[in-house]
Copies of this chain bind each other. A is one copy, B any other.
């Protein structure tokens, strides 16, 4: 028998949500550092001390907003990915990338809260880690799928190595490279960037958690594409593209395509 939720519990959940919603609105006005429990209480039509029935402190309210933010952008990216044909890997990447950007443009202050400068004096608790990785997990799975299907462009012949410091890396635990699926048009080679040996542990861990079966250079290519994507979104949102890029949507799509190339995910 499922435990009946009493009316009191239902009201409690609703008011908790309402407080978080109002707090989110306040983020827009004053940023995370300016978020004030008293101001939220005023907007709720409550006395300030009543908020403490729902959130034991200001930091707990912040944590809730951060967790919600990661979950919301994660859900948006998941939905965009799910709406694509499973084997359209470049399409999935572009759809996920666009979903992230659109979410960010619609909620710039929430985006700033999770991907902008850390809130001074605030230490994120461990419960934010799971939601935080939700978006990255979608992209990781996509790369894994593409790799397993042999849909990644083959690595290019290594460029001449003129730098004596950085020798050929040892890539011990890399899975076999499968040939591109027959019947597809010939793909351009993905650029070869040898991965230094000191990174192979990280690559192995990422294979274990988020990108199973993906070779080192693609793991880091994906990482760079991921960071690059959010770099572009942040530049757009935080004003670095003022007087630089006018048609931001067109540029974003173009850049997303270019970044896809870093992991051998090219063309439509």
**CB within 8 Å of B: which residues of A?**
29-34, 112-113, 115-121, 124, 129, 132, 156-157, 159-163, 166, 185, 187-189, 191-193, 195-196, 198-199, 201-202, 206, 220-221, 223-224, 227-232, 234-235, 238-240, 243-247, 250-251, 253-255, 257-259, 261-262, 266-268
Contact = CB atoms under 8 A, between A and B. Distances in A.
10 contacts: A31-B33, A116-B238, A117-B117, A159-B187, A196-B254, A199-B250, A224-B228, A224-B259, A227-B255, A231-B235
Nearest to A247: B198
Contact of A247 (B202, B235, B245): B202
B119 A238 contact: no
A29 B234 contact: no
Given A159-B188, A196-B254, A238 B202 contact: no
A133 to B, nearest CB: 9
A192 B195 CA distance: 23
Contacts of A198: 247, 250
Which of A33, A112, A243 lies at the interface centre, i.e. has the most chain B CB atoms within 10 A of its CB?
A: A33
A259 to B, nearest CB: 7
Nearest to A228: B228
Given A156-B188, A247-B199, A120 B34 contact: yes
